[in-house]
């Protein structure tokens, strides 16, 4: 009987992770290969060739990409022209009235992706009710047509006033422009974000246009490279920022949704891990070669929001909350003003850390861990790479001269600095929001995460660390745990006590019809489609909203109102049940359940024999057991100090900590009584 696999690929700055799951048994395997920045698809092909024989059929293929995010961060997106309503040309340039850092005298507004010189106007006007006040003068668009040819614009963003209430003018303008500029990508605000707030909606539409040509070119290249391995008739799926997946065709139409597609896989994996282990509250940390991503699972669900800020610019879209900083195994240590810094610059995969022997000359976190004995130079990445400890030790010793430190002290300093940065990132999403991290378990993954996890737990006084199966490829594993998802919304402003159920039901039904048609077009069967309703509420006189879920079935208006009061008190510590409530937007998540097997523990593999080597803890070399994770079975318990090696990551178990294997193959690390 031939084998069939479900496959996911997560392209990072240093490594590309491939996870493959047997479609019948649920057993997973994983592999890591060096990323190929010049052609990311090449690393995916290399990983597939290394892990999956050509005669195995792929039933499902999902991909997480940071191409859009990298284009935004490096400002290498498309050249965009913005078309808006006459007399409202400055909305995007002026931006909002809030300051990003209210007490900073050095704060500047973020640079827009399309400046005033790239903004064009057309005579038209639609009222807040959706009524056409002044028809569109298409003659005004000829100036934009000429500008596109003259200036070389690659994309156009159209955002007319109140188009979310009546899109007629945006559609008319798009048809006029597309006829004359057939090769230019055009984004319409009423499709990208049919929601109020003019600056935010404009910012979202411009960002979508800015990314569209880049993401489309990348996906076309990837599909072309992988055409012989993609599932027949189903093609490539792409992870979304909202935690669901979509087809590559949908990703090309709404590239904005791919911005956080790589990091989000880890949060969705955390959701599955929460259900599997019975731990409702998790702090998920993903430390790879380039970045450190932190997210929360609260009551079994990922923390999420309906807006985000990227490079200081607002984006109206459903996102899983991910806090990202430049901290990873490849983070470079450097000197500034007589002090040591680590990151955010990364050595990446090329040239990589010094120990890779690929031309890197600046010490990194991975180099420091190698000198401290925490990485095995002969068994790195499952034995696929040999690390050069001698060259790394020499470089750290040279750097240490400026601080009167030897190589080992310098290495420990680098590790301490990066741990402090990551602990601060976790405090940002917990303590700064009134959340006590001690009430959570820390889930550590990514190629470098398990090596730093206990130090982070000690810094934050967290008592339990979970190292999941295939930790170095856990984000890719998480991508196999999700379903197709598309989010739809509509601005429906009213006082809640004046809204009638029939109007609300009709509005949700309209969104459901749109969502159902979308999923059916993507090949989802009708019986696999479901919906999740929500509404944005605020107290009368307030500016911002909380999103409140509405349970399935008939809408109980009083119960929904009370749930807002409860959520408000949980968020802010107080509520006002006597105050009137305004509703702003209704939201509908359309879900398409994907067929998948139950997860099974990793297949048993032959374990390497246990051995010992010197590992540095608190500045002293200590004889430490080196164990293969394949040798640890459910119910086994290991006392630190120990190092647990596997193909995708290395777990550091310091003195005073214990590791135990639980059902599912996950490792749970806890303090011993003597260390509490």
Average confidence (pLDDT) per 10 residues, the chain, 676 residues: 84 84 90 82 86 86 84 87 96 84 81 95 96 96 96 96 96 97 94 93 96 89 83 82 91 88 90 94 91 92 88 90 86 89 84 88 93 82 75 93 93 94 94 92 93 95 95 92 94 94 96 95 93 96 92 95 93 91 96 90 80 91 93 89 91 95 92 67
Q: Check residue 384 and give its pLDDT.
A: 66
Q: Check residue 233 and give its pLDDT.
A: 65
Q: Is there a contact between 68 and 264 (Cβ–Cβ < 8 Å)?
A: no
Q: Check residue 379 and give its pLDDT.
A: 64
Where residue 518 falls (left for φ over 0; alpha for ψ -120 to 50; beta otherwise) is alpha
Which among 195, 404, 187, 169 has a CA at the least distance from the CA of 318? 195
Distance CA 184, CA 468 (A): 45
Burial class of 614 by CB neighbour count within 10 A (0 to 12, 13 to 18, 19+): exposed
Distance CA 671, CA 660 (A): 11
Identify the helix (H) or strand (E) that includes residue 455: helix 449-460
Distance CA 431, CA 342 (A): 24
Distance CA 17, CA 239 (A): 14
Phi, psi of 23 (to 5 degrees): -65, -20
Q: Check residue 674 and give its pLDDT.
A: 52
Q: Check residue 579 and give its pLDDT.
A: 95
Distance CA 247, CA 229 (A): 16
- Helices 407-429 + 389-400 axis angle, to 10: 90
- Token reading at 507: 């509005």
Distance CA 4, CA 6 (A): 7
Which residue(s) pair with 589 in the sheet? Answer: 487, 532
DSSP string, 552-574: SSS--HHHHHHHHHHHHHHHHS-
- Token reading at 361: 């000359």
Give the number of other Cβ atoms within 10 Å of residue 214's Cβ: 20
**Class in CATH terms, 4-71+216-258:** alpha beta
**Class in CATH terms, 484-592:** alpha beta
User: How far, in Å, are 51, 348, 475, 613, 648 from residue 64 at the CA level?
Assistant: 18, 18, 9, 37, 18
- Token reading at 195: 């929601």
Q: Check residue 383 and give its pLDDT.
A: 57
Any idea where the domains of the chain sit in the sequence? 4-71+216-258, 77-210, 331-417, 484-592
Please report the sign of the dihedral spanned by the C-alpha atoms of residue 272, residue 448, residue 668, residue 378: positive
Q: Check residue 367 and give its pLDDT.
A: 93
DSSP string, 232-291: TTT--EEE-TTS-EEEHHHHHH-GGGGTTHHHHHHHHHHHHHHHHHT---EEEEEE-SS-
Phi, psi of 126 (to 5 degrees): -120, 135
Distance CA 38, CA 643 (A): 35
User: How far, in Å, are 30, 90, 573 from residue 95 at the CA level?
Assistant: 45, 8, 31
**SS3 at position 142:** helix
Distance CA 169, CA 124 (A): 8
Task: Let me know how long the chain is.
Answer: 676
Helix, strand, coil percentages, rounded to 5, for the chain: 35, 30, 35
Q: Check residue 511 and give its pLDDT.
A: 96
**Matching residue, tokens 């055009």:** 186
User: How far, in Å, are 32, 44, 67, 361, 606 from residue 47 at the CA level?
Assistant: 7, 5, 18, 27, 22
Distance CA 589, CA 318 (A): 10
Distance CA 167, CA 178 (A): 16
- Token reading at 261: 């597609």
User: How far, in Å, are 146, 336, 339 from residue 176 at the CA level?
Assistant: 13, 55, 59
Note the Cα 193 to chain centre separation in Å: 20
Q: Is there a contact between 16 and 10 (Cβ–Cβ < 8 Å)?
A: yes
């Amino acid at each position: 009987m031939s084998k069939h696999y479900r496959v996911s690929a997560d392209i990072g700055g240093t490594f590309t992770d491939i996870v493959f799951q047997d479609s019948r048994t649920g057993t997973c395997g994983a592999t890591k290969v060096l990323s190929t920045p010049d052609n990311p698809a090449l690393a995916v092909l290399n990983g597939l060739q290394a892990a999956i024989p050509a005669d195995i059929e792929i039933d499902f293929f999902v991909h997480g990409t940071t191409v859009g995010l990298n284009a935004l961060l490096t400002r290498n997106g498309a050249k965009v022209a913005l078309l808006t309503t006459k007399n409202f040309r400055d909305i995007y340039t002026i931006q909002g009235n809030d300051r990003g850092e209210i007490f900073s005298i050095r704060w500047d507004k973020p640079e827009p992706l399309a400046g005033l010189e790239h903004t064009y106007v057309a005579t038209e006007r639609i009222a807040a009710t959706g009524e056409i006040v002044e028809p569109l003068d298409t003659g005004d668009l000829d100036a934009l047509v000429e500008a596109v040819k003259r200036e070389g614009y690659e994309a156009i963003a159209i955002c007319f006033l109140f188009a979310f209430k009546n899109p007629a003018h945006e559609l008319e303008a798009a048809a006029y422009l597309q006829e004359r500029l057939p090769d230019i990508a055009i984004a319409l605000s009423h499709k990208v974000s049919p929601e109020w707030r003019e600056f935010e909606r404009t910012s979202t539409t411009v960002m979508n246009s800015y990314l569209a040509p880049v993401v489309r070119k990348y996906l076309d290249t990837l599909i072309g490279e992988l055409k012989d391995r993609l599932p027949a008739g189903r093609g490539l799926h792409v992870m979304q920022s909202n935690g669901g997946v979509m087809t590559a065709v949908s990703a090309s139409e709404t590239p904005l949704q791919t911005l956080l597609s790589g990091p989000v896989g880890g949060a969705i994996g955390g959701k599955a891990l929460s259900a599997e282990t019975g731990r409702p509250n998790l702090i998920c940390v993903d430390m790879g070669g380039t970045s450190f991503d932190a997210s929360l699972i609260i009551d079994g669900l990922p923390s999420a929001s309906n807006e985000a800020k990227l490079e200081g610019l607002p984006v109206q879209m459903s996102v899983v909350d991910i806090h990202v900083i430049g901290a990873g195994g490849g983070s470079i240590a450097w000197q500034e003003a007589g002090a040591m810094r680590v990151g955010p610059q990364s050595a990446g995969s090329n040239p990589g850390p010094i120990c890779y022997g690929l031309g890197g000359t600046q010490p990194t976190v991975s180099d420091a861990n190698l000198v401290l004995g925490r990485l095995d130079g002969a068994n790195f990445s499952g034995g696929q790479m040999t690390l050069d400890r001698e060259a790394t030790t020499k470089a750290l010793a040279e750097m240490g001269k400026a601080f009167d430190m030897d190589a080992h002290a310098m290495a420990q300093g680098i590790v301490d600095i990066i741990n402090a940065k990551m602990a601060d990132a976790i405090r940002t999403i917990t303590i700064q929001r009134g959340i006590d991290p001690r009430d959570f378990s820390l889930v550590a993954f990514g190629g470098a995460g398990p090596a730093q996890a206990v130090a982070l737990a000690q810094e934050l006084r967290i008592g339990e660390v979970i190292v999941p199966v295939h930790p170095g490829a856990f984000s890719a594993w998480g991508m196999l745990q999700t379903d197709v998802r598309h989010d739809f919304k509509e601005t429906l402003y009213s006082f809640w006590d004046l809204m009638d159920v029939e109007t609300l039901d009709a509005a949700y039904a309209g969104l459901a019809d749109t969502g159902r048609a979308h999923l059916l077009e993507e090949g989802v069967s009708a019986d696999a489609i479901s919906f999740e309703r929500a509404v944005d509420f605020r107290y009368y006189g307030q500016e911002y909203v909380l999103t409140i879920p509405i349970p399935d079935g008939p809408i109980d208006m009083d119960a929904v109102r009370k749930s807002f009061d409860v959520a408000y008190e949980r968020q802010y510590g107080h509520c006002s049940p006597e105050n009137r409530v305004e509703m702003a937007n209704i939201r509908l998540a359309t879900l398409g359940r994907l067929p998948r097997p139950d997860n099974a523990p990793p297949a048993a593999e032959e374990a390497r024999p246990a051995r010992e080597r010197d590992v540095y803890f608190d500045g002293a070399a200590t004889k430490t057991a080196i164990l293969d994770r394949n040798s640890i079975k459910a119910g086994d318990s290991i006392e630190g100090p120990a190092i647990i090696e596997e193909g995708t990551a290395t777990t550091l178990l310091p003195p005073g900590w214990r590791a135990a294997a639980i059902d599912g193959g996950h490792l749970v690390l806890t303090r011993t009584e003597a260390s509490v």
